[in-house]
Structure 1
Amino acid sequence: MPLMVTRPTEFTRRGFLSALGGLAALPAFAGSGLGASLLSSSDAPLFASAFKKSAGGYGIAVLDDLGQIQAEISLPGRGHGIAVSDTGDCLAAFARRPGTFAIVAWPFSRWPMQTVVAAPGRHFYGHGCFSKDGRILYAAENDFASARGVVGVYDVSGETIIRLGEFDSHGIGPHEALLSPDGNVLIVANGGIETHPDHGREKLNLETMSPSVVFLDVQTGDTLAEHRLDRSLYQLSLRHMALDGAGRAWVGGQFEGSKTDTPPLVAIISRDEAPVLLDLPEKLVGQLENYIGSVTATTDQSVVATSAPRGGKTLFWKAETGDYLGHQNISDGCGVAPIDKGSFLISDGNGGVSYLSDPGERAEILARPAGFAWDNHMTALRI
């Protein structure tokens, strides 16, 4: 899995947008292959996303804040989510369910990448997170013989990655996992859907789903709190999360019930309070295909973005109050990453990368690299 680095661009996003002059897109710059050390040659913001190429093949791309691809990491199959350590020097990319590989890379150094293979009887769910000091990687996994969710615990601090063990996720189908701001609590969204690799991505228990969000002690795996929605929402699979400034988890749901139903799709869940469900504005009810694809927050955690790729919309919320701020129409837009206190990059399945400076303003397409289709998530690697 080689790391291929392209020549960095030398202009700013502000200057680029000024020069754009209303154009709808700009082809991505295709530089020559260069050494990996160039990723550390400037302090420009960088982002990472899984991709698929139209010519075949999967990988992870590192992009700058102009949507220009700076590096590529080849993957043996389709990737999904990317975790980045608090120090920003290490990333982990996970296979999409029911894949059994993850890669750990240090993109700003010459340390070799390492491949993690899921333990026997386990597969990854596409997400994970690092401990506060970056030495431990937590991965959402499936113990598929018993339909039991687990969190794999890996030591990534040495020359060889070691699987130390696992925690019970206390649910079925753990998806995204986040670390609390103090580093002491692991927050896990259990999607509630049973799957088995013998059945591919088939959902085996739609009539008996039981999604939840749990708060676990990172040292022991003990349950500190567990939240489930009202029984009437048992088919609202809780998948993706982001933390706001108060440490609350904003959770996006994917509804597996009737297509004619219009349940709430976003919840705010904290350790010691009952879940708060947010109402969609009337004009968007029934427009999101009952599917939230990604959740993220600005760097100051004051604005939360929830993408609905099937509905072609990305919604924005005021984190403190839960008030709806507006939305953008972006076809198949799913990956969302913060740039600063008020700005986002948004990637889409058509290969586009858009810049949004304010929820009330129109997003600008920065780049559309030929032959690339971005996967569901974009992660800030360096801001």
Structure 2
Amino acid sequence: MTTRRGFLAGLLAAGSAPAIGWADAGSPSYLAAAREADGAFALFGLDTGGNLTFRVPMPARGHAGAGHPARPLAVAFARRPGAFALVIDCADGLVRQRLTPPAGQSFNGHGSFSADGTRLYTVEQRDEDSAGVIGLWAMERELTRIGEVPSRGIGPHDLRLMPDGGLVVANGGIATGADGREKTNLGEMQPNLTYLDAEGRVQDQVILDPDLAQCSIRHLAVAPDGQVGFAMQWEGAPGTPVPLLGLHLRGEAPVLADPPLAEALAMWGYAGSIALSGDGRSYSISSPRGGRVQRFGRNGAFLGSVARADVCGLAAHPGGCLATDGLGGLLLLEGDRVRPLGSAPVAWDNHIVAL
């Protein structure tokens, strides 16, 4: 009997192999890492109905991923400070390549492919001083590192593509010790939001007011018109009600969302993820510490919230936002309504990445 692998190999030898795309991996819409019941770690594909489309084992805890825009390839990043990123063929479940950062640097959990899939950008920092670096990788038969550019800040964490092909980087401002986790400069933080062109030249930069210098800019969502939503985590005195969502258009001043006091306190100073809704009209931020998801308009106006224990992962969904929690829940947030989509015997990690 002719196997699928043998059939494809024969076509490849004949120079007429069909293009392999995400349909060959079950047509997932999302990537999400999780810890399984036996303590193992894996990367999963999910469709918009919350169904699992593939599972690929990982050697350690994952954080976020990057999906190739055309080929069924995903890069799964380790939790920061990360010593590896796995390039996974999601169609056959095989790890095709293991990426490592240069000596003296660590991956910081996030990355993104360019719109045409020819380049991968990885978020990194130098171990000695936490200075931010964006790694540049060319995508051909495999990923090859071709250089790096400075992120223009300390402790970068997230990076997103802009509609014009440039990049926006969340420089969290936190320096860490030798283990990559101990925070060493909380009294001297200088987080920023930096816009770079595709070659790393600075296009714009946003620095928060000094009284918000301990709001670490962590995660990003980008609207089609170039508006950037940035989620923050407060490193100052506990119980301080500070904004955790900022909105920015290049060339303008940032808008900081101001929820009611009770809502601000309910987040415990921590926004773990951010997503633009499927209709593009609102942003949501999550707090696993507060067990809460808050929703804001594109102008920063507070629209409402929902409570859910250990909720963190967020991604755009045609019906609103898809959310995951540490108890295995898959939820559709339709405005202020929560509709369960399913449950899996896993503890979902912090992020869902839309493909």
Provide TM-score, normalisation by structure 1: 0.83
Q: How do 1:3-14 residues align onto structure 2 when only pairs under 5 Å count?
A: none
For the pair 1:375 / 2:352, whether they are aligned, the reply is no
How far residue 91 of structure 1 moved from its aligned partner, in angstroms, is 2.3
Cα distance in structure 2, aligned partners of 1:94 and 1:350? 22
SS of the equivalent of 2:186 reads coil
For the pair 1:188 / 2:169, whether they are aligned, the reply is yes
SS of the equivalent of 2:266 reads coil
For the pair 1:331 / 2:309, whether they are aligned, the reply is yes
Letter in 2 for 1:165: G
- Match for residue 164 of structure 1 among 136, 146, 152: 146
Who is 1:239 aligned against? 218
Cα distance in structure 1, aligned partners of 2:194 and 2:56? 33
Cα distance in structure 2, aligned partners of 1:216 and 1:203? 26
Does the CA contact (< 8 Å) of 1:242 and 1:296 recur in 2? yes
Cα distance in structure 1, aligned partners of 2:229 and 2:206? 13
Letter in 1 for 2:328: G
Q: 1:44 to 1:328 in 2, by over 3 A?
A: farther
Does the CA contact (< 8 Å) of 1:50 and 1:375 recur in 2? yes
Letter in 2 for 1:355: L
Q: How many residue pairs are counted as aligned between the two chains?
A: 336
Report Cα offsets for 1:256-279 as digits up to 9, x if no partner.
000021111111122211111110
- Match for residue 251 of structure 2 among 262, 266, 272: 272
SS of the equivalent of 1:366 reads strand
Cα distance in structure 2, aligned partners of 1:129 and 1:47? 14
SS of the equivalent of 1:207 reads helix
Who is 1:355 aligned against? 332
**More strand by percentage:** 2
How far residue 322 of structure 1 moved from its aligned partner, in angstroms, is 2.2
How far residue 299 of structure 1 moved from its aligned partner, in angstroms, is 3.5
Which one has more relative contact order, counting CA pairs under 8 Å at least 6 apart? 1
RMSD: 2.1
How far residue 104 of structure 1 moved from its aligned partner, in angstroms, is 2.0
How far residue 77 of structure 1 moved from its aligned partner, in angstroms, is 1.2
Does the CA contact (< 8 Å) of 2:233 and 2:244 recur in 1? yes
Who is 2:47 aligned against? 64
Who is 2:6 aligned against? none
How far residue 226 of structure 1 moved from its aligned partner, in angstroms, is 1.1
How far residue 62 of structure 1 moved from its aligned partner, in angstroms, is 1.1
- Match for residue 175 of structure 1 among 149, 157, 166: 157
Provide TM-score, normalisation by structure 2: 0.89
Who is 1:225 aligned against? 204
Q: How do 1:302-321 residues align onto structure 2 when only pairs under 5 Å count?
A: 302-319=281-298, 321=299
Letter in 2 for 1:59: A
Q: 1:247 to 1:41 in 2, by over 3 A?
A: same
Who is 1:299 aligned against? 278
SS of the equivalent of 1:286 reads helix
How far residue 45 of structure 1 moved from its aligned partner, in angstroms, is 5.2
Cα distance in structure 2, aligned partners of 1:277 and 1:243? 16
Cα distance in structure 2, aligned partners of 1:300 and 1:285? 25
Cα distance in structure 2, aligned partners of 1:42 and 1:147? 37
Cα distance in structure 2, aligned partners of 1:100 and 1:42? 27
For the pair 1:97 / 2:75, whether they are aligned, the reply is no
Cα distance in structure 2, aligned partners of 1:147 and 1:43? 39
Letter in 2 for 1:354: L
Query: Structure 1: which 5+ residue stretches go unaligned?
Result: 1-36
Cα distance in structure 1, aligned partners of 2:247 and 2:275? 13
- Match for residue 203 of structure 1 among 153, 172, 183: 183
| Higher alpha-carbon deviation: 259-268 or 57-66 | 57-66
Report Cα offsets for 1:147-176 as digits up to 9, x if no partner.
3110011112x2232111111011000111
Cα distance in structure 2, aligned partners of 1:210 and 1:307? 23
How far residue 136 of structure 1 moved from its aligned partner, in angstroms, is 0.5
Cα distance in structure 2, aligned partners of 1:76 and 1:330? 29
Letter in 1 for 2:320: S
Cα distance in structure 2, aligned partners of 1:261 and 1:110? 46
Q: 1:200 to 1:271 in 2, by over 3 A?
A: same
SS of the equivalent of 1:199 reads coil
How far residue 146 of structure 1 moved from its aligned partner, in angstroms, is 3.3
SS of the equivalent of 1:289 reads coil
Letter in 2 for 1:79: G
- Match for residue 236 of structure 2 among 243, 246, 257: 257
Does the CA contact (< 8 Å) of 1:93 and 1:102 recur in 2? yes
SS of the equivalent of 2:221 reads strand
Cα distance in structure 1, aligned partners of 2:232 and 2:71? 28
* Identity percentage of aligned residues: 36
Does the CA contact (< 8 Å) of 2:21 and 2:70 recur in 1? no
Q: 1:86 to 1:44 in 2, by over 3 A?
A: closer
